[in-house]
Amino acid sequence: MSLAGLRIVLVEPAGPINVGAIARVMKNFGLYHLVLVNPQCDPLSAEALIMAVHAKEILESAVVVATLPEALHGCVRAIATTGRARSWETPLETPRTALPWLLEEPEKPAALIFGREDRGLSNEELNYAQRFVGIPTSQDYVALNLATAVAICCYELSQCAEQTDTQTSPQTELAPIEAVEGYYQQLESLLLKIGYVYPHTAASRMGKFRQLYNRAHLKTREVAMLRGILQQVEWALKNRRDGENL
C-alpha cells in the first residue's frame, strides 16, 4: 500500500502554527501532498515555517484552491473527519477501521479531509465524503487540536502502508468523485423539474441521496448507467411535452 497518492485536505485553516505543525507531522509519517481550501492564514508565514522545521517543502508545494470540490478533483475515495455522527445510516468510524480503505487503489488519488479549527466541516462539505472518521477521546475533554488530529490519522495511515499487501489489484475501482458529483447535479435538476423536490427542500433531500449512493461505492460504469437513465427520462419528458403541444 502506498501513501503517494493520498491528499491531506485542510478546509479553511486559520492558524499558521497548526498548518506548520501539520506539514511536520505529514513528513514524519511519509505523506507529502497537502491541499489547502481557502486558507484563512498565510501557510508560508514565519510562524508556519518555524513549526514545519524540516518539512518546509511541504508548505512550499502545498496546493491552494478555493473550494472543496477543487481539492478533491481526480480523487476516487474521500474520508472526512468529524466529531459527530450524521445519522445511523452513515456510521462514525475510528481511524484504524476506516483509513485503510483510502489505500486500496494506490495508483489513484484519495483524500482525507479535515475541517476548521473552531467548527469543523459543514453538512454540505461532509456530503463530498463517502465515509466519516471520528477520533475517540475522553469525555472529560473531547475537543482535539487540528494538528493533533492530523497526526493521529497520519500515524494510522503509515501503519496501514507498512503492512504487507497480499493483493496486487484493488478490490473495487470506484468512480472519480467529480463524476459522481455530476450525477448528483443531473439528478437534482431532474427532480426539480418533476416536482419531487422543491428549491427550499432540495439540499436536504439531496443529502439523503448522497448518503445512499456513497454507501454503494459507485463504480464508473454504474455512474454512467445511472446518468443514462436520467437522460432517457429527460428525453421522455421532453417528447411528451412536445406531443402535447401539437
> Does residue 169 surpass a pLDDT of 90?
no
Q: To 10 degrees, the CA torsion angle through 130, 132, 133, 137?
A: 180
Query: How much is the average pLDDT of 131-149?
Result: 92
pLDDT tens sequence across 172-209: 678 888 889 899 999 999 999 999 999 998 988 898 89
Report whether pLDDT(171) > 50.
yes
pLDDT for 86 equals 59
Mean pLDDT confidence for 17-34: 96
Q: Does domain 177-245 have CATH number 3.65.10.10?
A: no
CA–CA separation, 110 and 131 (whole Å): 12
The pLDDT tens digits for 49-88 are 999 999 999 999 999 999 999 999 999 999 999 987 655 5
Average pLDDT over residues 121-131: 93
Cβ–Cβ contacts within 10 Å for residue 119, how many? 9
| Domain 6-162, CATH homologous superfamily name and number | SPOUT methyltransferase, trefoil knot domain (3.40.1280.10)
Q: What is the mean pLDDT of the chain?
A: 89
Structure confidence at residue 154 (pLDDT): 96
Domain ranges of the chain: 6-162, 177-245
pLDDT of 147 above 70: yes
Long-range contact pairs involving 93-97 (C-beta distance under 8 Å, separation at least 24):
93/131, 93/132, 93/133, 93/134, 94/133, 94/134, 94/135, 94/136, 95/133, 95/135, 95/152, 95/153, 95/156, 96/156
pLDDT in tens, 75-123: 999 999 998 765 556 788 999 999 999 998 888 899 999 999 999 999 9
Strands in the chain per DSSP E: 6-11, 33-37, 63-65, 77-81, 92-93, 110-114, 131-133
**pLDDT higher than threshold 50 for residue 33:** yes
Helix (H, G, I), strand (E, B) or coil at 69: helix
Given pLDDT bands bounded at 50, 70 and 90, which one contains residue 166?
Answer: very low
pLDDT more than 90, % of the chain: 66
pLDDT in the model for residue 103: 92
Contacts of 136 (CB under 8 A, 6+ apart): 94
pTM of the predicted protein model: 0.79
